[in-house]
Amino acid sequence: MTGLGSGAFLGQFAAGSLTAAMPLLLGGLGEQLSERAGVLNVGIEGMMLAGAYAGFAVAYSTGGLWPGLLAGAAAGALVALPMLLLCVRWALDQVVVGIALTLGVQGLTALLHHFAFSTSYPRLPAPELWLGRFPLDYAALAMCLGLAGLYRHTLLGLHLHAAGERPVALDMAGISVSRLRGAAVLATGGLAGLGGAYLSEVSAGVFVPFMTNGAGFICIVLAMLARGRPLLVLGGALLFGVSLSSATALQLLGVDVPSDVVQMLPFAVVMLLLVVLGGGRLPAALGVAYRRGDR
C-alpha cells in the first residue's frame, strides 16, 4: 500500500479518471441531444461499439488517430441510420430497435475482429499529447459548453425542447419534427461513435470484442439524470470516470477484494445515483413516435 498519497499516484489517478470519463462524456452528450428531441436511443451501446471498432481499424491501417476518430464518428452515425428510418420515419418502438441494433453491432464487430485482429491483437502507439492531454479532451469540454449555449441561446435549442415535449406544437409551427429528430439521432450516433473510437484508440489502444461493456447504458443514465443540462453530463461522466479509474487503482494497490466486486463499482454508483437523484421529469414525448394527424 505504498504511494497512495503520493503526488505521482494522484496525478495518474486523475488522468486515468479523465480518460475513462471522456467516452462517457461524448456518448452522454449525444444521448442527451437525442432525448431532448424525444428519441430514447437505446442503441447507443451499439453505436459506441461500432465507433470503437471502426476507429481502431482505421487508425491501425492508416497509422493516424484522427482519421480513426473520424471513422468512428461515421460508423456511429451509420448505425444510427436504421434507427432514423425505423423509429423516426416509420414510428417503430425505439427500445426494441435500439436493443436490436446493439446486439447486431456486438455480433458484427466481434466477427470482424475475429477475422482481422484475433491472431495478432495489435496495439496502437500511445497518442501524442498536447498540454498533457489528448487534444480531443479540450474539444469535448468546449462541446459541452457549446451545447449548453445551443440549448439555451438558439432557436434550434427551443425546437429540440419542443420536439421532446410536444412535437405537435413544433409541427404546427412549421418545423418538421421528423427531420429535426432525424438530425438529432444522426448527431447522437456521431457523438457516440466518437466516444467509442476514443475508448479503443486513446483509452485502451486496442480493440477487444464487447469492449464498451455497458458504457452506452451508463450514457443513457447520465443523460436521464442530467435532463437538459450538458454540464451535469460532464459532472456525471467525471464521477463515473473516477469510479472506473478507482476500480483499476484498487487492483493496482493490491486491495484484497475480488476483482469482480471492484469492477461492479461503477454500476453500483449508477444505481445509487438513480436512487438518490432519479424520479425527476423526463421530456413528455420521450420514446413516443410522432405521426402527423394521428388520432
Partner 1 sequence: MTPPPVLALRRADKRFPGVIACDGIDFALRAGEVHALLGENGAGKSTVVGLLAGTQRPDGGAVCLDGTPLARHSPALALARGIGVVTQHSVLVPTMTVAENMLLGGAWWQSPARASAARQFRDACAGFGIAIDPNALAGSLSPGAQLQGEIIRALRRKGRVLILDEPTSPLGPAASAHLLAHLRWLCDSGLAILLITHRLDEALDVADRVTVLRRGKVTGSLDPADLAATPRDVLTAQIRAMMFGVTPVTPVTPVTPVTLGQAGAQGHGTIAGQRWIPACAGMTRLHVAGLTCNTLTGIDFSIAQGEILGVAGIDGNGQTALAETLAGHSQHSTGQILLDGTPLDGLRVAARHARGVRYLSDDRIGEGTVGALPVALNLLLKRIGAAPFWRFGMHREAAISEHAARAIADFDIRVPQPWARLATLSGGNMQKVMLARELDGAARLIIYHKPTIGLDARSADAVQQRIRQAAATGCASLLISADLDELLLLSHRIGVLDQGRIAGIVANGPGARVRIATLMTQ
Footprint of partner 1 (CB under 8 A) = 153-159, 161-162, 165-166, 168-176, 284, 292-293, 295
What is the chain's length?
295
Nearest distance from residue 279's CB to partner 1, in Å?
Answer: 17
Question: In this structure, are residues 170 and 162 in contact, taking their beta carbons and an 8 Å threshold?
Answer: yes
Helix orientation angle between 65-83 and 177-198, rounded to the nearest 10 degrees = 140
Q: Which is it for the CA torsion 271, 273, 267, 100, positive or negative?
A: positive
130 DSSP assignment: B
Residue 54 or 285: the one with the smaller Cβ distance to partner 1 is: 285
Q: What is the C-alpha to C-alpha distance for residues 65 and 126, in angstroms, rounded to an integer?
A: 10
Nearest distance from residue 95's CB to partner 1, in Å?
Answer: 18
Grid cell for residue 173: 409551427
Nearest distance from residue 295's CB to partner 1, in Å?
Answer: 7
Nearest distance from residue 161's CB to partner 1, in Å?
Answer: 6
Residue 114 or 152: the one with the smaller Cβ distance to partner 1 is: 152
Residue 108 or 175: the one with the smaller Cβ distance to partner 1 is: 175
Q: What is the C-alpha to C-alpha distance for residues 126 and 152, in angstroms, rounded to an integer?
A: 38
Residue 114 or 292: the one with the smaller Cβ distance to partner 1 is: 292
Residue 90 or 138: the one with the smaller Cβ distance to partner 1 is: 90
Nearest distance from residue 33's CB to partner 1, in Å?
Answer: 14
In single-letter form, the type of residue at position 3 comes to G
